Amino acid sequence: MNKAKQRVLLGMSGGVDSSVAGYLLRQQGYEVIGVTMKVWPQDCISRAEDKCCGPQAIADARGVAHSLAIPHYVVDEADQFERLVIDYFSSEYQAGRTPNPCVMCNEKLKFGNLWRKAAALGCDYIATGHYAIIEHRADHAVLRKGLDLRKDQSYFLFSLRQPQLRRALTPLGKMTKARIREIAHSLGLKVADKVDSQEICFVPGNDYKEFLRSHLNEFHRGEIYDIAGNFLGEHDGIELFTIGQRKGLPGGSPRPRYVVDLDPATNRVIVGDADDLVTDEFEIDRVNWHAVLGVGDPGRSFECTAKIRYSHSGTRATVTALENERTHVRLHEPQRAVTPGQAAVFYDDDIVLGGGWICRGEPRGHSEAKGREALNQSATPALA
């Protein structure tokens, strides 16, 4: 492949990772065009000042693009971000689930809507600063963990479909964070020591409850019960609870109490002991299988390593594909706080086999469908 003829749209967040990614792509012979998404409406600019894709991030990205001598554009995705990410985030909490907005942003925006801009600019690929490896083979792409396992972000890319993966580049996948900062210093980039964001970009202070209070018109009040069915008290909104939560529960118990289940149909919060949080079986829906022949065929079982949240180290599991994009997961070692709404991602060593969204065992009802509505408001743009 003659990379000198390959044009790449690089998503630039204004951080050190995407900045060095631009340099590496140019060194590899690609023609690079930098793009930063503006995801904040004008009336939220003050809240976004120091956030990803906020005004300072746009200024930083523009400065890096100038240093690298690449063109830079700002794309207004505020309406789409509100509809596809923030509305999804809020709806999931209303449905008693704990969302993962970073996965949705990658799928729907960075590797979704942004492709329209890439195509308009004549680009062959979209590139980002993710710490993951995408191998381009003759007939498919393989997603692998990044070399720096402390920074690996393959989990956040599990939902990308093959057309998206085949048009994606992740030049940092085989590098460490320390090396990326060394390169940034050697280039004299002002973002070389910029601190990595550890928060959800649209939630100030990482206080999701306060964000929901400002974003939702109403909370769904209800009652708190223990697993034996005993009434313990009332609560101000099911949206304010997550599985494994300990704070904010009625007192009077000799042992710590935890949220072990949320019932959006009745707005009930169910609490129990630490042991009640442990499970070894669950189901996932909206499964996305990568290029592993037959692995998603109904009735097919295989063993793998499953991550039940981004910070989870992974555990051995037996996975059995079911009908209607659902899959049964049996963990070889029971795990704590398997949480509906989070993603379960499956690995064969460092290769991503696929994944899906943890759901309750019962058939999906009205409340479940309502929470998914924001995810399906628009399909990911088709990539020819």
Catalytic residue list: 105, 201
* Dist. CA 360–CA 227, nearest whole Å: 16
> Would residue 104 be called left, alpha or beta, if left means φ above 0 and alpha means ψ between -120 and 50 degrees?
alpha
DSSP string of 160-184, one letter each residue: --HHHHHTEE-TTTTS-HHHHHHHH
CA distance 98 to 383: 30
What are the residues facing 347 on neighbouring strands?
A: 305, 352
Helix 16-27 to helix 177-186 angle (10° resolution) is 70
Strand partners, 302: 319
Residue in the block written with tokens 């609560």: 235
C-alpha distances (whole Å) from 163 to each of 81, 133, 154, 167, 292 are 22, 16, 17, 7, 15
The structure tokens listed for 250 are 């009625």
Give residues with Cβ within 8 angstroms of 305, minimum separation 6. Answer: 314, 315, 316, 317, 346, 347, 348, 349
Q: Where in 129-273 does DSSP place strands (E)?
A: 132-136, 141-145, 168-169, 222-226, 231-235, 258-263, 268-272
DSSP state at residue 357: E
From 376, 358, 375, 370, select the one nearest 265 (Cα to Cα). 370
- Taking the C-alpha atoms of residue 152 and residue 17, their distance in angstroms, rounded to an integer, is 13
Q: Are 143 and 352 in contact (CB under 8 A)?
A: yes
Please identify which residue in the block is written with the tokens 């991602």: 345
Sign of CA dihedral 100, 103, 108, 109: positive
